[in-house]
Structures are given as structure tokens and as C-alpha cells.
Structure 1
Amino acid sequence: MSFKRFFSYFSNRIGRNKPKKTTNSISYSKADKLLQSLISNAKVPGIAIKVTQHNKTIFDKGYGFSDLEKKTQINTATSVFRIASVSKPIAATALAIMVQDGVIDLEESFYTYVPYYPKKKYDFTIKQLATHTAGIRGYRGKEYGLNIPYTIKDSIVIFKDDDLLFKPGTNYHYNSYDWVLLSLAMQEASGVPFEDYVQKKVLDPLQMKHTFAEVKGSFIKGITQFYSQKKLGFRKALEVNNYYKLAGGGFLSTTTDIVKLGNAYLKGDFLQEAIQQQFLTAQEVKGESTYYGLGWQVSTDKKVNAYYGHIGNGVGGYSNFFVYPKQQLVLSILTNCTNPNIQDVLDEVVLEFVEKAKEFTL
């Protein structure tokens, strides 16, 4: 018996063993101060964070305001943010269910489902779109902030006549138009509007009751005001219409809802194990990792802790969503500001939770 194990045994025998730390005894003061500093230093108008371990909440707090003029405080359960590219894991979950149910085939040509899309020099598959290896281009000029009420199908006019950037499978190019095409293929394959399919197959089963498509003119209780930075303070963000890119960056949600998605993956019974693993496996191109699966970023942090999730950056919103399987940790951080340049701070916040997760048992 090693000295460490002997000491633990001896201490237990004489009733003097030191209690293990629990969630109630852990302080996250560093993370709290860092997040508060983002408000006091006018980096963001408002920010919400929720962290769970083993599906139990260990930190849940809002900072600043969802509406600066009305002084409406952030509420992690009901403050609804633009989540930008954190939409991709939601869409990827719906795609995984389609694969599981035999509605769509990852290895099939995109043209099998959308034959009216202009032919390119090379064919490309559903999987290549989901892994950003199809060669579809990204935003150009002001496309990032379009305010045109496109449907998903109509929106392909933006890029449908452009050449592929490379032969599919030979390179990696992250973009949201891949997911415009995927959502179109999913609609055509299932015969159900993409938004409705996600609602029925993902949002309703996971009880993500505050996750919505952003539709112009619709009333959404708790929705935050969207801001961009100016030299001193903030201004209201430009008006945009994100509905056409719902799958890649158009959902609205709360930190409370986003962690539900992460915990469904940790629990491991929402999708078939093999399919979940396929979606959470980083792809390789020319022998090098892309650090991206199918709709999920898959990597390690600076302490080499493995995670999957996504970062999102859109007009009036910035988001972090991370799942650390070894630590059984899920983190969701949402802000109501365009490109606030705060990722270094958020990385430190996340790291405190990850490292301290090793200090206690539940």
C-alpha cells in the first residue's frame, strides 16, 4: 500500500480525515472579478454565465444590463442573447438525428438533396459541408451584416454562382454558408422546414424553452438589446436579419438552455454513441487536425484539457460554449455586444472552473 493510500486509510480509521471539497466550499472569486471587470471597464454591456458539473449548477450569474437605457439586469434563465455560431452545435445535433434516423446520409452528395444548386467543378458531400472542407467561401464585404429577409432557400443567391475555393476534402475553410447549405439539404431531405425540425427533434426534447429562431417583427420575452462598441461606451448594433443563416449563426438562446445541450451530450443517451462520437471527432486534412468535427470545435485548452463546443461572434452578440468531458463540466457565456475582443479574459474564466473542477467531488 502506497504512503498516500495508507495515510488516507489511517485518517479515516481515527476519524480525523480532512473533508473533501464540494461545490459549496469552492470559491470562484477570480472568475467573478474578471467577469465584473468586463462591465466596469466597459468591454460589454451585459454578460451571463452558467456552469454545471455532473449536471449540477456550480456557478450561475449575470453582470451588467440586457438593456442599458432601461437598466434591465441580466437574468441567466430568461435573458435571451444572439448566440451566433453557437447555433452550429444545435444544428449539428439536428443533423445527427437525421443521420441516426436514416433521413440523410453524410457521405452522399449535397446535390442528391439539392439538385437545383449550380454545379461546380467538383462534387461535395454533406459531411464535407459539416466539417468545413467542401470549399464553400465565407462572408465578403458587408454580407456579415445583411438586413434582407431571405428564406434559407432564397439566400443561396448570395454565393451560389461562386467557384469553390479548393477541391473538396483537400483543405479547411471555416464559414457559415456551409450551414446555410446544410439546413437547405436537411429541409429537402426531411420535407420539414429546418426551424420546425430543430424545434421538434432538439429544442423540445431537451426543454430548451428559451431558444428561438430570430424572426423580424416577432416578440420574444427577455430578449436583450444588441450593442456594438464605440469610442466611449456602446451604441445599438446595426439592424440585421439572421434568419437565413439560422443553422450557422441565427439562433437566440440563454445560458441556461445552452448548458442543457452540453449536458445531453455528457449524459450520452440523446444520440447513438457511434454517431455522437463521429460528430465530436476532429477531422484531419493533409495529416493535420482541423480541430473541428461536424458542427463542433474539438480541441484542448492551454492546460491540455480536452473539450468540445463553439465560440460565436455576430452582430450584437458574442458567445462561448464549452463541454469538458473528463471534468463533466459545461460552460455557457453569452454577451450582447459585437466582437468585444474579450476572449483572453473568457479563457481565464473558463480555465479557473476547469482547474478547480479537479479539486472536489460531488
Structure 2
Amino acid sequence: MGFFSNILKVFSRQTLEKDLEDLSVPFYLPFNTWVDESKVPGMAVTVLHRGKKVIQKGFGWADIDRRIPVDPEKTIFRIASASKPIASMALAKMVMEKKINLDKSFYSYVPYFPRKEFDFSIRQLASHTAGIRGYKGKEYALNKPYTIKESLELFKNDPLQFRPGTDYLYNSFDWVLISLAMEEVSGIPFSEYVQEEILNPLGMSNTLVEVPEENPEGKAVPYTRTQSGFRLAIPVDNRYKLAGGGYLSTSEDLAKLGRAYLENSLVSSEVMREFLTPQMVKGSSTYYGLGLQVSMDKTGRPFIGHVGNGIGGYSNFFVYPEDEVVISLLINCTDPKVQPLLDEIVFPSVLDYLSSGSLI
């Protein structure tokens, strides 16, 4: 930690407006090191402050063999569970328009789902307190072309893990069910609703559904780390869990979503407040709202957002409301083991700089 603190101190202490170039340099150093040491194949980062883009850069390779560098505007990554904040915004839109009631039974929207011992609501699904199970075995890496409805076969006959509202169990099947309810309500595919109501209005033109047989321009090759470097990640089909972990995006696009969360540009502040309130279980906070983490970082700064880890993709999406900062960081490999450094050094340093206008 002292190493990075010393690096930061050598740079000039000018005002933020005159020092954006100096700002970028120290925070790039660990990223370049990760590429050089083969911790990550490629990475893109975008930082917004008060709606203004202050950091945006690519590191390493979108395609190692072809030596195609990462471009934060154009390189498209698997964002894994950072898909949930996209789906959450879409659900919030439906709630605002009174198309879905968070506290209504899930069965009101999807009556054909097998009945469980206890009823559960959309709110409980979105907050991971409904009792739906998580992945078994290698279900996280399925490569079958399930539709959302077809994927119910994976878990529809399994019992709830606990009485809804009495515990917390993070999983992506919750959002499979929510996206199915949204399809039933809207009468159109979940992906179309999100495209029309969220992605198009925000100008997120590089946020896509990953179709295995297609290779869109700019898509980063997904890798898995090995002892000697990287290999191609195993093929997967994430379309059935689009809402919980299936989108492709760029760091620039994801930052646009963060700005929408800051500015309440798509959803009313009243509804957004409900989504960004940590849910309680047995009198204790889960530090999770409805589709997003709602907590404080290592330095005590409040944030909302999500970390995503999937086959061939890793993501950080964080919004700091009090600092008016959005951080979007995407990597094209399965868990690169860099989260502690991001949490403890890199992100706090960026926030300290932006809040004070001078390097620490």
C-alpha cells in the first residue's frame, strides 16, 4: 500500500480541471503492471465525475493472439453480474409505471411456475431473500440455447432454501424469474424491453445480448487464467440469464448507466430510493437493495453497484452518490484476483483525488 501512496505523492497538486492528465497516470500504474504480469489479458476503465468523463483508457489486449488492443469505447466485454443493475433499472421503470408491484406474489405474473411451500414476492426475488437456490455443479457454465422460460427446467422443481424474507442467498436464478415476469407483463422479450426502455434512451449502443454463433465487432476474446498465462474460456450460452449475468458491454456504456443512477434520468427518485435501500433480514442489513449492492467502501464512502464474475469476464460497476463519481472497469477473463487492490487502494485513491482536487 505504501508503494502506491508514494507514487501518488510525486505528482503535482494542481486543480482538478488543469490536472486530468496527471490524475490518470498514477492510477494506470497497477493496471499496466497487471497486464505485464499476466494477471489480466485486457481491461477498460471509465470514470465520470459530476457527469464529466475524467478517466477513460484501455489496457492490454482484447485479443492476445491478434494483438488487438482494448479500446474503452469499442471493446465489448462479458459483464457477468454487472448485468443486474441494467435489469434492475428496467424493473424500476415497470414499477414506476405501475406495471409491476414489488410486493405482489411472483405467481401473479407467472402462475405456471410450480408452487412452493411458501409464497414469495418480486421484491424478495430482487433482494435475494426469496429462498431460490443458486447454481449446482457446473450450471454457471451452461452452453445450451435455453430461452428464459425453458431454463426453468433447471430449478423449478427444487424446494426453497428457506422461508422467504428470513435469510439472504445471492444467486442469478432470482433474476431469471424476474425477467420472465417482466416478459409476461410487457408481452415482449425481456431483451427488447430493456433495449427500448433503458439502452436506447441512455445511448448504450454497445451493450448487447451475447449470441454464441455471432461475433460482433469489438468483442473481446474471453479468457481464463492458467499458471503460464491465458487460455480461451470454455464456450457458454448466457442468454437465459441475461438479466442476472448475460450482457456484453463497454466500460463507456456501463458508465452511462451509472450516470442514470446518479441523475434519476429514467426513473423517479421515489422509486429509485426504494431500489437503493438495503433490505433487512432478522433485523440486520443485507447491504443489498433490489439488484445492486448498497454499502460503504473501505474508507466509509457510501456506494451502490455490483461486481461481476463469469466465464471469461470480470466487472466492477460502482456509483458513489455523495462524490458524484461513477467507476466502470471491465476485464476479459474469469476472476483475475485483483479485487482487494481495487477496493483498498485504486478506487479510494481515485475518489480521494476527485473529492479534494489534489493528490494524496
Interval containing the TM-score (normalised by the shorter chain): over 0.9
| Equivalent residue number for residue 21 of structure 1 | 15
Q: In 2, Cα distance between the equivalents of 1:136 and 1:50?
A: 34
Q: How does 1:1-362 map to 2 (within 5 A)?
A: 21-25=15-19, 26-347=22-343, 348-360=345-357
Query: Which deviations, in whole Å up to 9, do the C-alpha atoms of 1:277-326 show, x marking residues without a partner?
Result: 11111111111110100001111011100110100000000000000111
Could you tell me how far apart the structure 2 residues matched to 1:269 and 1:145 are?
35
In structure 1, C-alpha distance between the alignment counterparts of 2:212 and 2:318, rounded to whole Å: 29
Letter in 1 for 2:80: A
CA contact (8 A) 2:63 2:69 kept: yes
Deviations 1:66-93 (A, max 9, x none): 0000000000000000000000000000
Q: Distance in 2 between matches of 1:104 and 1:207?
A: 25
TM-score scaled to structure 2, two decimals?
0.93
* Structure 1 residue identity aligned to 2:139: E
**C-alpha separation in 2, matches of 1:317 and 1:182:** 23
State the 1:24 CA deviation. Answer: 3.2
Distance 1:219 1:199 in 2: 19
Gaps of 5+ in 1: 1-18
SS of corresponding position for 1:141: coil
Identical counterparts, % of pairs: 49
Cα shift readout 1:329-357 (whole Å, capped 9, x = no counterpart): 00000000011111012222211111111
What amino acid sits opposite 1:352 in the alignment? Answer: S
Counterpart amino acid of residue 24 in structure 1: K
Name the SS of the counterpart of 1:27 in structure 2: helix
Deviation at 1:20, TM superposition (A): 6.8
How far apart are 1:218 and its partner, in Å?
2.3
Q: Would the aligned equivalents of 1:23 and 1:58 in 2 still touch at CA under 8 Å?
A: no
Maintained 8 Å contact 2:50/2:324: yes
Q: Which amino acid aligns with 2:88?
A: A
Greater than 2 Å deviation, 4+ residue runs: 26-30
Structure 2 counterpart of 1:208, which letter? M
RMSD: 1.2
Q: Give the whole-Å Cα distance in 2 for the aligned partners of 1:280 and 1:59.
A: 26
Residue by residue, what CA displacement relative to the aligned partner does 1:116-151 show, whole Å, maximum 9, x if unpaired? 111100000000000000000001101010101100
Distance apart, 1:269 and its partner CA: 3.0
How many pairs were matched up?
343
Structure 2, unaligned runs of 5 or more:
1-12
TM-score (norm 1): 0.93
